[in-house]
Structure 1
Amino acid sequence: MRHRQPLSPYITLILLSFFLFMSLPIPATGALTQPAQIHSIEGITEYELDNGLRVLLAPDQSKPTTTVNMTYLVGSRHEQYGRTGMAHLLEHLMFRGTPNTPNALAEFSKRGLQANGSTSADRTNYYASFASDPETLQWYLTWQADAMRNASIQEEDLNAERSIVLNELERGENNPFRTLTEKMRSTAYQWHNYRNSTIGARSDLDAMQASELRDFYDRYYQPDNAVLVVAGKFEPAQTLNLINELFSTIPRPERSLTEAPTVEPQQDGERQVILERSGGMPFIAATYHIPAASSEQYILLDIAAGILADSPSGPLYKELVENNLATGVFGFAMAHHHPGLIFFGAQLNDTMDTAKAQQTLHEVLEQSAKHPITQEQLDRAKNNWLTQWDELFASTEQMGIGLSEAIASGDWRLFFLERDRVKNITLQDVQQAVQTYLLASNRTSGLYKPTNNPQRAPFETIPDIVQLLKDYKGDPSFTQTDAFDSSPENIDKLTRLEVIQLPNGTISTAMLVKPTRGNRVQADYKIQFANAQAMENMASLSAAAASLLDNGTATMSRQEIQDRIDALQGSIHYGISGNRLIVSLSTHKKHFPELLQFSLELIQQANYPQKEVDEYKERVITSVRNAMTEPGALANNTLSRHSNVWPKGDIRYVPTYEELIKNIQAINPKALREFQNNFFGAGDIDVAIVGDFDPQQIRSILEDSLKSWKQAPGYDRIDMPYHAVKAASFTIETPDKSNAVYMARLPIKLQNDHPDYPALFMANYLLGATETSRLWTRIRTQEGLSYSIRSSLNVSSFEPSGTWSLQAIYSPTEKERIKSLIDETIQTTLKEGFTEQELSDGIRSVLNLRSLARSQDSVLSSTWLKYLALDRSFEWNKKFEEAIQNLTTAEVHQVMKTYLKPENMSEAFAGDFVGKTNKATQQEEP
């Protein structure tokens, strides 16, 4: 018993062969339905029984031997997760026999049969060759019929064979070449079961149960999933009648077999495997994805493998062996039912340069212009291939067994077609195949490094969780947090609002003392400065000035600053929004005063070290360059620039990505320090704090820290007034991106204190803001076209200006369909409005979500920070929710029709529309 493995690097793969004969007259016997004749080619005739069993008869009276081969179309690719090695282990158990034949191997031996079985990724076969004898033929066919449905598969037999298979596994692990190629295959395939070794994982074999093998056997060892071959000297008509009598009693199973849907995606970059073990000599290899064995391209690559790795005329031999970089080379293509692999490699000795050898291997394979295949090499390879085919064709024993490979590849006739293809191969065909598939991006390279005393991480097992937690009690000091009423009224009642007057400005504060889980404190504050004119040409500089505040001072490095924050069990985040520095921090109550003071010190003491500035610039520029190929980023930038009305240099201007990179490149420590000195000062500061803290202590820290600050230029909010935007549609090509993005935007003239806002808020919520919205239900749930589709409404609190936006991701091939369905859904909603049930469910959902948000300290803190600038409290929040609760469908429908004008939307489609269209067209071609 054996499982199929790559052959020795110095041995060519055994070629497949077929032998066909003309149809035979079949006499009627009893009430049995006679097998139907299906195909007859070159001496092999195919029949099919009523139960689906296919039979190939290949008589050859020239040799006194007979070969019988049963192929089941099940291999390691049909196994499930956690059950690897099942097909091969079942092959072993089949020889343990049936109730009628308890020890099949012993019976084979008694009768002088050369019998065995093998398992590959695509099939399992059982075969025997013997001196031609009708009685022996009848006995072996009887065993095959018995074994098809009556295998014993007992637990004690499994335990015995398990040990044998594990020994086989260990023997393979001792072979560096075999181990390396298996690991390379596992790396080359990410999803397809071809990535798994046929012999299986040790843990799966250890855990295998006889009942599981029985289920696997019952599913696949059935007549409709098998092909029986009889080749050599025998009487065809009598043999077919015998097969019909023996196998027709097995009913066609009621279950249906379907092909696993997993398709291995195109490889999109080089992968590498390095194996380190004791013993042996260095070994290098490279494998590439190739088409299935039934493809016309497969045989071109099979021939190419023979040419490239030929010894002594092939380019690999000449470049590696003759230049003393390797002691031998090999190459072969793996024939699989699904797309397979082509392997190349070289054996080295311990004095040779593995890096140079591997580089040379890749260059020879991937730079065909430097190492072109010649007509002489092609003719030699074709002659060699056809000679081996003829030898196989001439041996009915080998041919009868070899048919399994063609059957597993899709059909027994493929071998003859493959022979014909070889005869017609041209030099241009082979060269084109090499250039198409032997690419660096399609390569998985391998290296075996013999290593004395290799280092291994410990082998880990899952701890005994029950024993681990048996006496665990947790922290005895833990106490439950008191309940907190998160109603707007209670929040306003408990929040202390105060304005602190300093000589250099004011500090507006909102301090809400409340119990928190873990005694955490959340704080947000903003330092406001200058105006739009003062911020001209400073958008990128201001963002860097904020982001780098915690990257170094005159006395502390970036790492030391981070260590200090970590020691205080906290976090600090600095960001910029126009002419406002926004700071967010969180920590345990015992560390909060110190962390707050430290966050203020960093604003004044940051000195922007050159090293940190350079790293920041490189990091941001890399991010921008990545965005330049991303559909979502490109669509967003395109629409933002389309609606831009501000001149270049204005803080509100939307730059191109190229302009943005140029602006970032111009940043330097001196400019950052000047910006910090000019703008990060006292004057107009808002602070919001929520959690368990001492307000008086925090007030003292704020006063003491800020009173000595330089006063910042007077703050004037940068407005973003409404501007009408002419509707436009953009299509942006993003080559080699699997997903496309659709974005649409509509300017809206509305402020969030307007009476229409609650209804428009609800209209957007019901249209596209949730997983039950109109757009989501139609596009995702019903049509399955988008993983995510959303609409959003962003309306200013300061001025009548806002934007309604829509975004969806989808396959580029569905561009027109998704646009049509979005338009249809919006138009239907505008025409019909929402139902009472939709509105009722939506109101309940919105109120619940807002109540949930008020229970989050970070939301309370950030909301108070916004309200301080608007002179609002949570009373505004309460009134908004009351307006939501009192909405009618008529109000929502009318407001939606008033503001949502699809004809005024600008939209962008970003994706690989050309590439995906071409690929779809290619897939449709026969």
Structure 2
Amino acid sequence: MKKYIFLGYCSLAFCTLISAQNKLVNFKKIKELGGIEEYLYQPNGMNILLLQDNASPVATVQIVYRVGSKHEVLGNTGSTHLLEHLMFKGTPTFIKSNKGSITDVLQNTGAQLNATTWYDRTNYYETLPSDKIELALQIEADRMRNSLLLKEDKEAEMTVVRNEFERGENNPNSLLDKEIWASAYIAHPYHHSTIGWKSDIENAPIEVLRNFYNTYYWPDNATLTIIGDFKKENVLELIEKYFGKITKAPNAMPQPYTEEPEQYGARKIVVKKPGELGVVNKAYKIPGALHEDLPALNILGQIIGSGPSAILNKTFVDTQMGIYAYASATNFKEVGLFTIGVGFPTTSKHEDIDAKISEVIAKIQKEGVTQDEVNLVVAKISAQTILGRDGSGVIASELNEAIASGDWTDFVTGVDRLKKVTPANVLRVAQKYLVEDQSTTGYFIPKQTGSQSQDATQVNNFMPEKEPFYYRHPEDEHSHEKTSSEILTQNSNASEITFDENVIEKTASAFKREKVAGIDVVSVKTSAKDFVTVAASISLGNFVNETKNPMISSLTASMLSKGTTLNDKFKFSEKLQKLGVNLSVNASTTKINIGFKCLKKDLDQVIVLLAEELRMPLFDQKEFENLKQQFTGNIQQSLNDPGERGGIALSQAIYPKGNPNYSLSVEEDLANIKNATLEEVKAFHKKYFGTNSMHLVIVGDTEGANLNASLKKSFKNWNGGVNETIKAEETSKAAAKTEVITIAEKPSAELFIGQYTGLKRADVDYIPFYIANYTLGAGFAGRLMQTVRDNDGLTYSISSRMGGNITTGGYWFVNASFNPNLFQKGLDATMVQVDKWVKDGITATELEHKKSNLIGSFKVGMSTTSGMARTILSFVERGLEPSYIDQYPKDIEKATLREVNDAIKKYIQLDKMIIIKSGSLDKEGNPLK
């Protein structure tokens, strides 16, 4: 009998094995590198990349189509991007009348989702709890061939994309970049920007988009990537289940074959629009990403333009000729540009800046670079490559670009290619490619305007984005300062995040909290390997209420990186670069924020450097004057930014001057910068820097990192700082008001609607109101996005948020962008939704979905050491224990429908709305003629 049972068991196991093998026979393994396995699904030719990491219950599912804006022809530019938008409109299965829209279904799991289009590819992705992988695969397979692509959806989405285009036209650097590419590449399809020409966006027929879809959206033109927590056999079975029904493309997919003709001399373009800074960009033609010369060009870009020791910074910023300077090489599949850019005050001449850039290039071409400079860049990128791969979503993003470049293995081998670069290689590529006759130079010549308001906390963000991706939905661009403690309170697209029991290593020492050298230290060991993330802060107490010059806090924090009494800024920066560490120290008017990520083996060295920067700043007078010019130049740029000016006008309408949430005008900021003295900076540092209110959270591979020993050694006998609660007088709700801020030549205007609520994070009504607001204006699934954007097609971005310092009385506001000709229509449509929200509240179904969304996002948010560190820091700053992680989802879950709807009526009065209109509108709010 026993023998019979044993044989029966063996027979069952054998049959199960055979069954599993039969299911996987269609998957041909191509190769494995760096832990990534590549498979070919033979029935339809789809590529598959699998990177298994079961440390956290989160996974990213991504599908990359090898079609981008380079596949477009004259008349249908922007089609790839517009089609990307329509791919979210649904299928017969995933539509509101059936299972719900794609965004609804995914967001209700807590997923982070989006899509991007670029020159060589289009990708769709979702990072979500790993038990929802099947849902993601079902959706991606379904929309690969079953997207509805309805004419009425296209008509609504066209105006959304047009508004995205208009927002880009508001930005001088984006505008100049577009013009340079169009001039540098006159034949190659990189000539036109990914978002396309405006007339094509407006006029492309739905038939063109359907044809594009039916030509390129096939499995043999796609790479499916799954990263994170899964079992290989399970996901391969799911791939077979959902993608096995889809055949290969019925026809060959057309590929661009146009080659760029030879350039017979330098080209120059000039853009004149309202602005405050001049810009000169010089761009040189270079080959594609996999060309043997690209690693040397990438290193050249770093040596010329990255960090305090960079040649451009020494040449322009340190001499006060420029506000910022950078250099970079694109890494596109076919061709690209090596760009050198300088932004500068209007006191300098474009021709002088242009000539100086040419001098820098000539010197490089004559003298070359040193082995030490090459080694420094390679060491920096090597470390940052490891540190940057923190979470499945980041890895998916990097793999996406490697796939687009033509070889996913470059994600693994890219650093090895860099390590082979010699100074001779760098000299050779500088001489070969940085040739004047092969250059295109762009001048942005500003037409200056009058002054208005600006948020002083943004003064360090003066570097332009070098590669503006076109996302389906942008990050929040105009919210006020988002410190770690305000992720929940100010960003409608982010939720307060917490641990899952599988993320943290559940030992007795999972959370360690103790005083070390006077610092409140929380240490959390996770499954991260070989690196840690540190987030820290120092409270400024009532500085904002007591100071005559609120710019001093930001100026002081920025001065810390300008050298110490032990190392000048060049030596100090080089020490950090060798470790691949970006040590961030910045300040608002309420606290100093500190953060870095480093390899575990380097933690002691980084702590030594952190202590040196915080405790022993050099405070050089020349550096201080230089910094003041940079601050001034950056603040001046906001004069032509409808979002900045509108946001500040809203704060000034809600709060009295002197309140921590009140924003000063540009005139006041400029005067404060001009009048700031180094003595004030030194006095601020002496009073506020210290351990009295310092919190530090370290997350990651903390075992054996010896943080405590490092802190005791480096921060011994460091006293000082304040430990006091910020004071703010209760503000009464302001009367209803409408204000127009006129800024000429801005094709996209900004709307702000808001009012004072007085809510503090500790209030019992906070979470109910947060859920209510989340329902109205959070992400794709918020009412505002689904109506004003998706149904009406009036805006690219609309959201509602909770603003203000979390320990003082906050405020609520809606922000949206509209074409000036559609502004009143957009305002009316927005107010319809706000009115309905206030009068009728939210539904029981919405409450259930939002709770599921918020709680599901815990796993996703905690899948990175950075997210975990910032969240724990926000808890301890508020006087909570890290264990609040376990309580927060319970607080969300226990909120009742009555509490949520009562909170809306309690804090929002329709007759007290403050409305700010900012952009190319006249005093009546009508479009400028």
TM-score by length of 1: 0.46
Q: Normalising by structure 2, report the TM-score.
A: 0.46
Q: Which has the larger radius of gyration?
A: 1
Q: Which has the higher contact order (CA 8 A, sep 6+)?
A: 2
